[in-house]
Structure 1
Amino acid sequence: MGHDHAHEHAAAAGGNRTRLAIALAITASVLIAQLIGAVASGSLALLGDAGHMSSDGIGLAVALVASVMAARPATDRHTFGFQRMEVLAALANGVILVVVAALVGFEAVRRLVEPTTAHIEAVPMLIVASVGLAANVVAYLVLRGGDRRSLNLRGALLEVLGDMLGSIAAIIAAVVILLTGFAEADAIASLAIAALIVPRAFVLLRDVVRVLTESAPHDRDVAQIRDHLRGAAGVVAVHDVHIWNITSGAPVFTAHVVVEPELFERGDTHALLDELGGCLAEHFDVAHSTFQLEPAGHHEHEEHAHR
């Protein structure tokens, strides 16, 4: 069952790399179009959106490289392999999102305080922003579905979502400017987008911190797992329980299990280990588990030895 879980995880990672590669190609193409459109229309909104898109491209490229590195096998020095590279990439993506939101917000406030007198061609701005929105929708649909089990992909998805909102803001601003000539609509829309990006970035960073601090996964109840293991025949107690994520969707579990001495005498420890491992895999979706079996009374001896 653990082998099947590992195979499913590897297959999901391969699918994530394909999603990331497609989204990166779309993002790079739209970035070029936005830069050309910004120069042709004189729109700072498009230029800002292009800057946001460039951060998306960097984030997607980092996520893709991290995903490839995460697929490398474990070594004697990196005994868990390089799976945590995906978490580090998600951390980078979260930081990029916060920085972009701060820069966009700062620039939006500056434009409201010091209104620009530059002429903006609203029609080219509207066309390019609409193309950007369509491309972002496609990229979002490509990435969606892999984000549930990958922090790395979730970070990339949030960046594309943020740029999608940026394209919508640019479209609204272009329409307002086209109909009313109110240039400040550009800055107002940018400020709203910055406010939308920040909460999503902090949610991503919160999940990254949970993994890096080796906190118990939020969807795993340690007390429930401990009680479940105690229900196995011959188990007296369970202590020194640890559960954490190597990367998103890859929980690891260790515990000391106190068993009746007769279990060792009968040679039934192998069967118990199989039962405990199967219990975790089946009921709690934990494929990688390690148990230290101890006869009753050993725990007290162990505590005395460490005093």
Structure 2
Amino acid sequence: MSVGTQWKILGEEFTTGIDEQSPVFVCEANFEREHCTIDVLKLTESLFGFSFWPDDWDDLGIEMWFHQERIVVDTSATQPLVDADPDLDMGPLAPGVFFIDLTALGAGSSEFMDAVSGSSTPDLREMAESLPAALTTIEQTSTDPPTFVGTTTSARLIEALGGDAEADALCEVAPLGMPSLRDLILARNNFNGLDELIAQFYETNTAEVVVELDDRGLLSVLWTKEDFSGLFSIIAEYWSLNTELSEQERQEAQEAIELFESAEFIVATRVAYESDADLEVPLPPPTAEDRTEEWREFFPECG
């Protein structure tokens, strides 16, 4: 998956194109396990249009291995973040190699188990059918390769990809960086309708979609483009109606509203799927560090 964005804020524009040769996410899966790598440097650069990091940082990634009974996570490459700021609290994502016991999590809640163990690599034949079915407008623009262009809503697109629109909406709005917003999102008792406002936005927001199939009728490439600028107005409305803010928080909120209310934020993605019956997914590194309880507390807090 490669990501490109376009920001326009206070008259300044920051744009990053989609770099097909430098993906943000790479996942590989077979019947035994799944391995995913997240390039944190590339992700932040793609989302915000510029790099936050020192020029000599060239490796800041997170690796995850999914198996039926456990998730193994390697966050060792994030050590430079801690070295640069010893007071930084990364919580359950602190540098190291650890595992999350899915059996222990599932014993307490089957819903919770489903949320944390879902695969990011769904069946490609099913996807080739679910994606066109989710489009509200559709046109076949090519037969070689079979290509469909259309529009849908952000919510319908997320669900066609096997996700949960409400959960995804909350996760995507969390890192927008408005003062105190992150704390309010993490404190689920303080939502005061924010989740409903965001869900309504996703129900109506337009997503442009291009679906390419291969010669076997499997999903090959998925392009999407979505304008998330409307989220800022929703956040501004939420702040203006919230009665639980302190005076300092209200002042921070007003400054953030003035900064972001006229902002534009467009996200484009390209996801390429390759089928390989002989794919061998690498084994996870050995680890005895169990962070199951830390993640049991973290997952509900982050929505």
TM-score by length of 2: 0.22
Looking at secondary structure, tell me which structure has more strand per residue: 2
Looking at secondary structure, tell me which structure has more helix per residue: 1
TM-score by length of 1: 0.21
The higher radius of gyration belongs to 1
